Amino acid sequence: MKKMTNLKCATIDGVDAIVVDIESTFTNGLPSFSIVGLGNTAIQESKDRIKSSLLTNEFKFPPKKITINLSPSEVTKKGSHLDCAMALLIALNDKKVDFDDFFVFGELGLDGTLKDTSSIFILILSLAKQGKIKNVLIPKESIEKISKIPNITIYAAENLSVAIEFFTTKIPEIKAKYKVENKDFEYDFVEVDGEKYFFDTNYKLNFADVKGQKIAKRAALISTAGNHNILFEGSPGCGKSMITKRMQYIMPPMCLSEILEKAKIDALGGKEPDFKPTRTFSSPHHTSTKASVLGGTKIGEIALCNNGILFFDELPHFGKDIIEALREPLEDHAILVSRVNTKVKYDTKFLFISAMNPCPCGNLLSKTKECRCSDLEVNRYKNRLSDPFLDRIDLMVTMGEVFIDDKPDIDSHTMHKIVLQTFLAQKRRGQKELNGKLSEEDIKRYCPLDSESQNILNKAILQFSLSFRAINKVLKVARTIADMEDSCDIQKSHILEALSYRRR
């Protein structure tokens, strides 16, 4: 009997990868081929792909009882990307090969061709972030995506024969020709303490198209610069969605790990990663189910837009259970989804933007249209949003109607420059998080007030009955306003403006 235990692959568990040790035994007896270790249907079907790949490439299939074990055995394995690793163990069973902790990924075609799968990028990125992978062999089809992952050595093969040659040759020059160079990102960037933060200056949607609404655009700029949750209230057609959709393109720059994390989430959500430093924008419809928004058997929208934007248009029309369930993700920036046999924790560090009409018909604030709603209907409409939920909103803006003589007063390029300036101020101060996501300890450290500003805040606390959470929200918004004005200290004017955006 011969045993090999050094070839590694991985499988997905929730959103992270788990290392899979692939073991093989070859014993005398009635020829058979079995795979054990809780492999799903795709893995069980790999037996036929492996046999065909070996036989069509002039390799003899050993006439023995072959057992492949995928360890750890208690974790369910899924995906066809384990094909190549298992085939290599069988093809090289009679040779002395040192796999040197190599990870091998790739689905096999019937002719031995190595193919990319949607999970390979997710797995390798997750392993790299955990520091569990150094050397990896991948299909040539995977080079475009995998080459963007730093700090790993990548080799690529186009078919099973090449993969076998790679592991059996002892000539360094032959191994070197299969090596893949890591690619750099070709975008503008700013650098802080040796780390690069990338951004895109291609504004697909521009604030220059938004006429009027000066206060709403100011609030949108503060929200974007500090990652503060915001609620727009206004009549239909006043520009709530128009402003929101443009906020995506002036968001703060992204470090390499955030770009790769976004690509990973795109892949998990079934989208092709684009590796652009543009943050995710997710806008589920108000008829979406609770499982699709929060997550269930599949990853939910609030996890798919991590480090990006989650936009709820027509906010009161969402299910009350969905709105109330957002309270924990908005406060803790994470959500724990419990399933039958496991619990999965997702990061939810998104910018929450919402929009609503002032009443069911939308005309309550209109100066030209008559509101058709009764007081009971208006109260019922607004009571769908509870005080604990609204307390988690940093900025609330009431928008007026658009008039024919309204003109644009600022474009996305100008706003993005202010966002970049504010971002640099926060990072140079030593903050790991943007102002909107600061912890209580960080608020005490980065948001001190002078006596005059503290007196104003104390009066507001008494007058508006501000909760502890609301006080912290005011301080964080004021800190962002001060950063936008390049002020080291939070001043009286910054506190007053921050208070103007609180719900009364």
At 217-227, the pLDDT tens digits run 999 999 999 99
Specify whether domain 204-406 bears CATH 3.40.50.1240: no
Query: Which pLDDT value is given to residue 60?
Result: 83
Structure tokens at 181: 């160079």
Cross-strand pairs, 179: 155
pLDDT at 87 > cutoff 50: yes
pLDDT at 6 > cutoff 80: no
At 398-414, the pLDDT tens digits run 999 888 888 999 999 99
Q: How confident is the model at residue 340 (pLDDT cuts 50, 70, 90)?
A: low
Q: Tell me the percentage of the chain whose pLDDT exceeds 90.
A: 82
The helix (H) or strand (E) run that includes residue 5 is strand 2-13
Query: Which pLDDT value is given to residue 51?
Result: 94
- Tell me how far the alpha carbon of residue 397 is from its chain's centroid: 27
Average pLDDT over residues 368-372: 92
pLDDT at 453 > cutoff 70: yes
Average pLDDT over residues 241-264: 95
Query: Which pLDDT value is given to residue 19?
Result: 96
Q: What is the pTM of this model?
A: 0.90
3-state secondary structure 28-86: CCCCEEEEECCECHHHHHHHHHHHHHHHHCCCCCCCCEEEEEEECCCCCECCHHHHHHH
Q: How confident is the model at residue 100 (pLDDT cuts 50, 70, 90)?
A: confident
Specify the range with the lowest mean pLDDT, choosing from 267-271, 337-341, 470-474, 480-484: 337-341
**Rounded (10°) CA dihedral 129, 296, 265, 280:** -130
Specify whether the CB–CB gap between 223 and 345 falls below 8 A: no
Q: How confident is the model at residue 3 (pLDDT cuts 50, 70, 90)?
A: very low
Amino acid sitting at position 425: A
pLDDT at 1 > cutoff 80: no
pLDDT at 69 > cutoff 70: yes
Query: Which pLDDT value is given to residue 47?
Result: 95
- Rounded Cα–Cα distance for residues 496 and 489 (Å): 14
Q: Which residues contact 104 (CB under 8 A, 6 or more apart)?
A: 7, 8, 9, 84, 85, 88, 136, 137, 163
All structural domains of the chain with their residue ranges: 2-180, 204-406
Query: Which pLDDT value is given to residue 97?
Result: 86
Q: How many CB atoms lie within 10 A of CB 370?
A: 8
Query: Which pLDDT value is given to residue 249?
Result: 97
pLDDT at 16 > cutoff 50: yes
Q: Which residues contact 220 (CB under 8 A, 6 or more apart)?
A: 230, 243, 244, 246, 247
Query: Which pLDDT value is given to residue 107?
Result: 97
CATH topology of domain 2-180: Ribosomal Protein S5; domain 2 (3.30.230)
At 265-317, the pLDDT tens digits run 888 888 888 899 999 999 999 999 999 999 877 889 999 999 999 999 999 99
Decide which of 186 and 252 is more confident: 252
Average pLDDT over all residues of the chain = 93
